[in-house]
Amino acid sequence: MRLRKGPFLWLIEKEWRELLSSRAWWVLLAVSGPLIGVSFISAVRTYAELSGYGGTTEGVGEAFSPLVGVWAPTFSASELAAAFLLPFVAIRVVAGDRQSGALKLELQQPLSVVWRIGAKTLVLGAAWIAASAPAAIAVLLWRSYGGAVYPPELAAVVVGHLLNAGLTIALASAAASLTDHPSTAAIVTLSVTVGTWIVNFIAAVQGGVWERIAGYTPTAIVAEFQHGLVRLDVVLIALALIALGLAIAAIGMHIGVAARVRASESIVLGALAAAVVFACTFLTPSWDFSENRMNSFHRSDEAVLRQIRQPLRIEAHLAAEDPRRVDLEQKVFSKLRRVMPRVDVRYVAATTTGLFEQASAHYGEVWYRLGDNGVPSMNRITTVESVLETIYGLAGVEPPIESGDIFRGHPLAVPPRRAAAVFYGIWPAVVIAGAVFIWRRQS
Amino acid sequence: MPEPMVVVDRLTKAYGRLTALADVSLSIRAGEVLGLIGPNGAGKTTLFECLAGVLPYDAGEILLDGAPLTGEARTSRIFYMPDGIAPWPSQTLQWALEYAAGFFGGSPAAIPGVVRRLDLGPLLGSRIGTLSKGQRKRALLAIGLLTPHPLLLCDEPFDGLDLRQTREVGAALREHAAAGRTLFLSIHQIPDAARVCDRFVLLSAGRVCAEGTLEELARKDTKETKDSKEPTLEEIFLALT
């Protein structure tokens, strides 16, 4: 019966066996437990202390969102693993066939390269899910402490990390497929990762178009999902980039095709993906899955803002590194863009820090104008309430009366019991035992 | 004389400025064991890889049963077993044979016979990466013999084998050919080729110097062969290349 499988299932079995025999994956598994554990334990301890544990003064209830207090830091460890460990697993799976000569044999099976790269991606996806098991254990531990879990926001975090892992797998696969040696592929992959960090840094300093580009780096994508925000443009762009990476990997695997033909195909695909990515940046739908609606205005405010159909033009005289600009962007403008159809924000500053612009009479001014011929209004205050009041004033509408659906928070003054034993003891022991068992069984 | 199964017509392949194959033309007849004879660096592996489709060629044409060779026809009719590879090094030989038979659509029932013929029984539980050069060569050969493609290209099937193993593997290949499969073997040790092959293609510096049976090659008018009553393949090769 075993030998009657189709070639794709044989390929899946082969990839899975190769993964199980890969030390890189076992290292990823072994490390992910303590890595996620230390983040979870630290987050829960801080959460407990702020909730009044150990005689400390209890904080403000509204501040206690497990999404920000526990899940974001816990899953951030997964982001580290995805950036620094997962690429090596992916490179091992993709480049191993070329290194051993197995690719020359397997290419003689009339199976499409789509299926070949598909098998590798499926197995690598499963490998990543297995390596994320400690995060699932963290959720169970949190529940056992009596902690609140809001499934939609947790799902958003998980999806964000899956997309991030997908991007890493696609990038590493493409690098492994295009380069002659796994070490070169590793350098290429890590260089791209570091390159995205540099883009984030430049965006923080320069703003402008860099800020827009930085919004689609893996770090920014994960950060948004960790805040429970799911943007259609971000999801589609991530999927397009994953598809591009895997397609280039598939093209690179086809060693029987002339290098210039493969290069041409890759360039055409890259151009196509760039066009798709550019088109996606104009998509505005987004969904706030956070329980405390941290990415949205109050529902009553949103209802009023949605009725304002004129374009809103904002000119903020604030430098890129000015904390007020960061506040405005994250707490006000990003929410405005989600509810108003046309919001155009323009920052005006002569320097990046703004330190020496403070003396300028206009520095710090934020001008708002509704419609093409609307009367502009200036406001230096950067709070949500003040900005909304200005916009309501320009639109000539009454500010809504807030109803009572206010997020009350979920304080939990419980220490991270049993977590250290689970993440630092049981998990590594189970992984080591599993590795020994598998290696003995395969030999 | 049977119609050629494969015709290679003026195949050319260059790596940058180095011409590995220059207007190579030859034919492979169904059911024969054809030997590709040439010294190291003659272009034997390049020719096999071009035929198998794992290396693109620059010019020329390959015909299969009279029609231009397409990707689909190639993967269903031709199988190439490279030299010097260690595929799936962390897997056992047992699994690799099952995988080869299953993945390439061969017959799993043939595994025990191939294992017996190539004396691989004691190695079935060993990982491929741990096999010696000779053991790995027999393992690769077993994988090749388990594939169902009518034409098997085998690069240096005797390399790394001792005398006894060389003879046993040669006999196994002859049996396999007798069962109806066409074999095209690249061999740089001429006595081994003379023992196993029906016909020969002599390749030197990327060019085909001659093609034919031992008798046909001996009839070539050269100084060395004239001096010898029954020239050996080695003498013929030296004379013609």
A347 compared with B238, residue with greater pLDDT: A347
Q: Which residue of B has its CA nearest to A112?
A: B72
Q: How many CB pairs under 8 A join A and B?
A: 95
The pLDDT value recorded for residue B2 is 66
Please judge whether B82 and A2 are an interchain contact, meaning their C-beta atoms are less than 8 angstroms apart: no
Residue A61 has pLDDT above 70, yes or no: no
Quote the CA–CA distance of A222 and A230 in Å, as a whole number: 10
Strand partners, B182: B151
Please report which helix (H) or strand (E) contains residue B203, including its range. Answer: strand B199-204
What 3-state DSSP class applies to B10?
strand
Smallest CA–CA separation between B218 and chain A, in Å? Answer: 37
Please judge whether A105 and B87 are an interchain contact, meaning their C-beta atoms are less than 8 angstroms apart: yes
The order of strands in the sheet holding B18-29 is: B18-29, B4-15, B59-64, B67-68
Q: Within 10 Å of residue A419's Cβ, how many Cβ atoms?
A: 21
Q: Within 10 Å of residue A369's Cβ, how many Cβ atoms?
A: 18
Please judge whether B85 and A105 are an interchain contact, meaning their C-beta atoms are less than 8 angstroms apart: yes
Q: Which residue of B has its CA nearest to A19?
A: B90
Quote the CA–CA distance of A393 and B37 in Å, as a whole number: 91
What 3-state DSSP class applies to B132?
coil
Please judge whether B98 and A2 are an interchain contact, meaning their C-beta atoms are less than 8 angstroms apart: yes
Distance of CA A134 to the CA centre of its chain: 18
Q: Which two tokens stand for residue A137?
A: 């254990």
Q: Which two tokens stand for residue A349?
A: 């500053």
Q: Tell which of B57, B80, B88 to mutate to test the A interface (max A CBs under 10 Å).
A: B88
Mean pLDDT of A114-130: 96
Please judge whether A108 and B72 are an interchain contact, meaning their C-beta atoms are less than 8 angstroms apart: no
Smallest CA–CA separation between B222 and chain A, in Å? Answer: 39
**Closest CB from B56, B86, B100 relative to A256:** B56
Please judge whether B92 and A108 are an interchain contact, meaning their C-beta atoms are less than 8 angstroms apart: no
Smallest CA–CA separation between A10 and chain B, in Å? Answer: 6
Residues of B in contact with A8 (CB under 8 A): none
Residues of A in contact with B90 (CB under 8 A): 17-18, 21-22, 442
The pLDDT value recorded for residue A1 is 44
Domain annotation for chain A: domains and CATH numbers? 2-288+410-442 (no CATH), 299-395 (3.40.30.10)
Residue A438 in contact with partner chain B when CB distance is under 8 A = no
Task: Average pLDDT across each block of 10 residues of chain B; the chain has 241 residues. List them in order.
Answer: 86 93 95 92 94 93 93 92 94 96 93 95 94 95 96 94 91 92 91 90 92 83 58 76 71
The pLDDT value recorded for residue A342 is 86
The order of strands in the sheet holding B199-204 is: B78-81, B151-155, B182-187, B33-37, B199-204, B207-212
pTM as predicted: 0.88
Quote the CA–CA distance of A119 and A162 in Å, as a whole number: 17
Q: Which two tokens stand for residue B67?
A: 């029609």
Using a 10 angstrom Cβ sphere, with 0-12 exposed, 13-18 middle and 19 or more buried, the burial of residue A8 is middle
Residue A257 in contact with partner chain B when CB distance is under 8 A = yes
Listed residue (B56, B47, B69) closest to B154, CA to CA: B47
Please judge whether B88 and A18 are an interchain contact, meaning their C-beta atoms are less than 8 angstroms apart: yes
Mean pLDDT of A265-288: 95
Strand partners, A395: none
Residue A270 has pLDDT above 90, yes or no: yes
- Window 384-413 of A: residues touching B by CB (8 A cutoff) are none
Whole-complex ipTM: 0.90
What 3-state DSSP class applies to B5?
strand
HEC secondary structure over A346-398 = EECCCCCCCCCCCCCCCCCCEEEEECCCCCCEECCCCCHHHHHHHHHHHHCCC
Chain B residues near any Cβ of chain A (below 8 Å): 49, 52-56, 71-72, 74-76, 78-82, 84-92, 95, 98-105, 108, 125, 127, 143, 149
Residue A414 has pLDDT above 60, yes or no: yes
Inter-residue contact A244 to A170 (CB < 8 Å): yes
- DSSP one-letter code for A400: P
Residues of B in contact with A22 (CB under 8 A): 90
Quote the CA–CA distance of A443 and B127 in Å, as a whole number: 6
Q: Tell which of A14, A108, A262, A443 to mutate to test the B interface (max B CBs under 10 Å).
A: A108
The pLDDT value recorded for residue A13 is 96
**What percent of chain A clears pLDDT 90, i.e. is strictly above it?**
67
Please provide the DSSP assignment of B39-97 as one string: -TTSSHHHHHHHHHTSS--SEEEEEETTEEPPHHHHHHHEEEE-SS---STTSBHHHHH
Domain ranges of chain B: 4-86+149-240
Residues of A in contact with B89 (CB under 8 A): 100
Smallest CA–CA separation between A24 and chain B, in Å? Answer: 14
Using a 10 angstrom Cβ sphere, with 0-12 exposed, 13-18 middle and 19 or more buried, the burial of residue B207 is middle
Listed residue (B219, B224, B229, B220) closest to B239, CA to CA: B224
What 3-state DSSP class applies to A207?
coil
* pLDDT-based confidence at residue A211 (cuts at 50, 70, 90): confident
Listed residue (B195, B204, B196, B201) closest to B217, CA to CA: B201
The pLDDT value recorded for residue A354 is 62
Q: Which residue of A has its CA nearest to B98?
A: A3
Please judge whether A105 and B101 are an interchain contact, meaning their C-beta atoms are less than 8 angstroms apart: no
Phi first, then psi, for residue B61 (nearest 5°) are -145, 145
Mean pLDDT of A299-315: 91
Residues of A in contact with B141 (CB under 8 A): none
Inter-residue contact A113 to A250 (CB < 8 Å): yes
Please judge whether A104 and B125 are an interchain contact, meaning their C-beta atoms are less than 8 angstroms apart: no
Quote the CA–CA distance of A176 and A183 in Å, as a whole number: 9
Smallest CA–CA separation between B53 and chain A, in Å? Answer: 5
Residue A59 has pLDDT above 60, yes or no: no
Instruction: Indicate the CATH number for domain B4-86+149-240.
Output: 3.40.50.300
Place of tokens 């320097």: A351
Listed residue (A124, A146, A147, A133) closest to A36, CA to CA: A133
Quote the CA–CA distance of A340 and A327 in Å, as a whole number: 19
Phi first, then psi, for residue A308 (nearest 5°) are -85, 110
What 3-state DSSP class applies to A406?
coil
Inter-residue contact A432 to A425 (CB < 8 Å): no
Q: Which two tokens stand for residue A192?
A: 């791209």
* pLDDT-based confidence at residue A3 (cuts at 50, 70, 90): very low
Quote the CA–CA distance of A19 and A24 in Å, as a whole number: 9
Smallest CA–CA separation between A429 and chain B, in Å? Answer: 23
**Region class of B57: left (phi > 0), else alpha (psi between -120 and 50), else beta:** beta
The pLDDT value recorded for residue A57 is 59
Pairing label, strands B207-212, A343-347: unpaired
The pLDDT value recorded for residue A361 is 76
**Closest CB from A7, A17, A101 relative to B85:** A101
> Helices in A182-322 by DSSP H: which ranges?
182-206, 208-214, 218-226, 232-253, 259-280, 299-307
Which residues, in sequence order, are CB contacts of A260 under 8 Å at separation 6+?
none
Quote the CA–CA distance of A311 and A315 in Å, as a whole number: 13
